[in-house]
Structure 1
Amino acid sequence: MLGAGAAWWLNRPLALAADPVELSIEPGTTPRGVAQAAVEAGVQLPPELLFWWFRLSGQARLIRAGNYELPRGTTPWTLLRKLVRGEESLRSVTLVEGWNFRQLREALAKAEQLRPDTQGLSGEEIMRQLGRAATPPEGRFFPDTYTYAKGASDLAVLRRALHAMDRQLQAAWARRAADSPLKTPDQALILASLVEKETGQPADRPMIAGVFANRLRQGMLLQTDPSVIYGLGAAFDGNLRKRDLLADTPWNTYTRAGLPPTPIAMPGKAALLAAVQPASTRALYFVARGNGHSEFSATLEEHNRAVNRFQRGQ
Structure 2
Amino acid sequence: MRKIGCLGLVLALAVLAGLFMVVHAWGGAGPLPQNTTVQVKRGATLSDAAQALQQAGAIRSARRFTVLARVLGASAPIRAGEYRIPAHLSQSDILKMMQGGKTLQRFVTIPEGFPAVLVQQKLMEAPGLTGKVPVPIEGTVLPDSYSYQRGDTREEVLQRMQKAMVDYLAAAWKKRSPRTVVKTPRQAIILASIVEKETAKPSERPMIAAVYSNRLRLGMLLQADPTVIYPITLGRPLGRRILRSELEAVNGYNTYASPGLPAGPIANPGRASIDAVLHPADSDALYFVADGTGGHVFSNTLEQHDANVQKWYAIRRKRGEM
TM-score using structure 2 length: 0.85
- Identify the residue that residue 192 of structure 2 maps to in structure 1: 192
Identity of aligned residues (%): 37
Q: Give the aligned partner of residue 252 of structure 1.
A: 254
State the partner residue of 1:94. Answer: 109
> Given residue 86 of structure 1, which amino acid in structure 2 is its aligned partner?
G
Greater shift in the superposed pair: 50-59 or 260-269: 50-59
Name the residue aligned to 1:33.
48
After TM superposition, give the deviation of residue 204 of structure 1 in Å: 1.4
Q: In the alignment, is residue 292 of structure 1 matched against residue 301 of structure 2?
A: no
Q: Which AA in structure 2 matches 1:230?
A: Y
Matches within 5 A, 1:1-314: 1=16, 3-16=19-32, 19-57=34-72, 59=74, 62-115=77-130, 117-118=131-132, 121-123=133-135, 137-233=137-233, 236-312=238-314
What letter corresponds to residue 64 of structure 2 in structure 1? L
Q: Conserved in 2, the CA contact under 8 Å of 1:31 and 1:60?
A: no
Contact 2:58 2:88 (8 Å CA) reproduced: no
Q: Is the 8 A contact 1:139 1:264 kept in 2?
A: yes
CA 1:257–1:57: 2 relative to 1, 3 Å: farther
Q: For residues 249-269 of structure 1, what are the alpha-carbon distances to aligned partners after superposition, in whole Å with 9 as ceiling and x for unaligned? A: 111111122111221112122
Q: Which amino acid aligns with 1:232?
A: I
Q: Which has the larger radius of gyration?
A: 2
Which residue identity is paired with 2:231? Answer: G
Cα deviation for residue 277 of structure 1 reads 0.5
User: Contact 1:289–1:311 at 8 Å: present in 2 too?
Assistant: no
Q: Distance in 2 between matches of 1:35 and 1:60?
A: 15
Q: Across the two proteins, how many residue pairs are aligned to each other?
A: 298
Residue 63 of structure 1 deviates from its aligned partner by: 0.7
Tell me how large the CA RMSD over aligned residues is.
Answer: 2.1
Whole-Å Cα distance in 2 between the matches of residues 57 and 251 of structure 1? 67
What CA distance in whole angstroms lies between the structure 2 residues aligned with 1:297 and 1:225?
18
Unaligned residue ranges in structure 1 (runs of 5+) = 128-136
Displacement of 1:138:
1.0
Moved more, 241-250 or 143-152: 143-152
Task: Spell out, residue by residue over 1:34-72, the C-alpha distance to the aligned partner (whole angstroms, 9 max, x if none).
Answer: 222221232342222111022224645611122222121
* Alignment TM-score, normalising by the size of structure 1: 0.87
- Separation in 1, partners of 2:155, 2:268: 17
Letter in structure 2 aligned against 1:10:
W
List per-residue Cα deviations over 1:228-262 (Å, max 9, x = no partner).
10122279552212221101111111112211122
Alignment-mate amino acid for residue 245 of structure 1: L
Deviation at 1:114, TM superposition (A): 2.8
Cα distance in structure 2, aligned partners of 1:60 and 1:33: 16
1:312 to partner: Cα distance: 4.9
Structure 2 unaligned blocks of 5 or more: 1-15, 318-322
